[in-house]
A and B are shown apart, each in its own frame.
Chain A
Amino acid sequence: MIVQRKALSWWERLYIPALLSGFRVTLRHFFKKKVTMQYPEERWVVPEGYRGAPYLVKDQDERTKCVSCQLCEFVCPPKAIKITPPGPTVNHSTGNVEKEPADFEINMLRCIFCGYCQEVCPEEAIFLQKDYSLTGESREEMIYHKDKLLDLGGVHQDGIKKWEKKLKDAEAQGMTS
Chain B
Amino acid sequence: MELLSETSTLQSILLFGLLKVVLVIAVLMPMISYSVMAERRICAAIQDRIGPNRVGPFGLLQPIADGLKFLLKEDFTPHHVRKVYFWLAPAVSMIPPFLTIAVIPFGSTLGSQNMVIANLNVGILFTFSVVSLGVYGIVLAGYASNSKYPFLGGIRASAQMISYEIAMGMSVVPLFMLVGDLNLGKVIAYQASGAWLIFKQPLAFVIFLVAAFAETNRLPFDLPESETELVSGYHTEYSSMKFALFFLGEYAAMISISALMVTLFLGGWTLPFWGLAAPASSLIGGLIHIGIFLVKLGLFMGLFIWIRWMLPRFRYDQLMDLGWRRFLPLALLNIVVTAAFLWFFQSN
**Are A22 and B310 in contact (CB-based, < 8 A)?**
yes
Q: Given the complex, which residues of B lie within 8 Å of A30, measured CB to CB?
A: 42, 45-46
Taking the nearest CB of chain B, how far is it from the CB of A135, in angstroms? 17
**Are A38 and B310 in contact (CB-based, < 8 A)?**
no
Interface residues of A in 4-31 (CB under 8 A from B): 18-19, 22-23, 25-26, 29-30
**Are A36 and B49 in contact (CB-based, < 8 A)?**
yes
Q: Give Cα A33–Cα B50 distance, bound, in whole angstroms.
A: 10
Interface size in chain A (residues, C-beta < 8 A): 14
> B136 within 8 Å of A by Cβ?
no
> A35 within 8 Å of B by Cβ?
yes
> A34 within 8 Å of B by Cβ?
yes
Taking the nearest CB of chain B, how far is it from the CB of A85, in angstroms? 47
Taking the nearest CB of chain B, how far is it from the CB of A95, in angstroms? 55
Q: Give Cα A36–Cα B49 distance, bound, in whole angstroms.
A: 5
**Are A35 and B48 in contact (CB-based, < 8 A)?**
yes
> A32 within 8 Å of B by Cβ?
yes
Taking the nearest CB of chain A, how far is it from the CB of B167, in angstroms? 16
Interface residues of B in 47-69 (CB under 8 A from A): 47-50
Interface residues of B in 28-48 (CB under 8 A from A): 42, 44-48
**Are B48 and A34 in contact (CB-based, < 8 A)?**
yes
Q: Give Cα A76–Cα B60 distance, bound, in whole angstroms.
A: 48
**Are B46 and A38 in contact (CB-based, < 8 A)?**
no
Main secondary structure of the interface of A (DSSP, over half): helix
* Choice from A19, A23, A25, A35 contacting B49 with Cβ under 8 Å: A35
**Are A23 and B48 in contact (CB-based, < 8 A)?**
no
Taking the nearest CB of chain A, how far is it from the CB of B5, in angstroms? 54
Q: Given the complex, which residues of A lie within 8 Å of B47, measured CB to CB?
A: 29
Q: Given the complex, which residues of A lie within 8 Å of B311, measured CB to CB?
A: 18-19, 22
Q: Given the complex, which residues of B lie within 8 Å of A19, measured CB to CB?
A: 310-311
* Choice from B42, B49, B306 contacting A34 with Cβ under 8 Å: B49
Q: Given the complex, which residues of A lie within 8 Å of B45, measured CB to CB?
A: 29-30, 34
Interface residues of B in 293-348 (CB under 8 A from A): 306, 309-311
**Are A26 and B46 in contact (CB-based, < 8 A)?**
yes
Q: Given the complex, which residues of A lie within 8 Å of B310, measured CB to CB?
A: 19, 22-23, 25-26
* Choice from A18, A22, A29, A38 contacting B48 with Cβ under 8 Å: A29
**Are B46 and A36 in contact (CB-based, < 8 A)?**
no
Interface residues of B in 126-174 (CB under 8 A from A): none
**Are A32 and B50 in contact (CB-based, < 8 A)?**
no
Would you list 20 pairs from A and B whose C-beta atoms are within 8 A, ordered by A residue?
A18-B311, A19-B310, A22-B310, A25-B310, A26-B306, A26-B310, A29-B45, A29-B47, A29-B48, A30-B42, A30-B45, A30-B46, A32-B48, A33-B48, A34-B44, A34-B48, A34-B49, A34-B50, A36-B48, A36-B50
Given A22-B310, A26-B46, 11 additional A-B pairs, CB 8 A = A19-B311, A25-B310, A26-B309, A26-B310, A30-B46, A32-B48, A34-B49, A34-B50, A35-B49, A36-B48, A38-B50
Which 8 pairs show the lowest CB-CB distances between chains A and B?
Answer: A36-B50, A22-B310, A26-B310, A26-B46, A30-B45, A36-B49, A35-B48, A34-B50
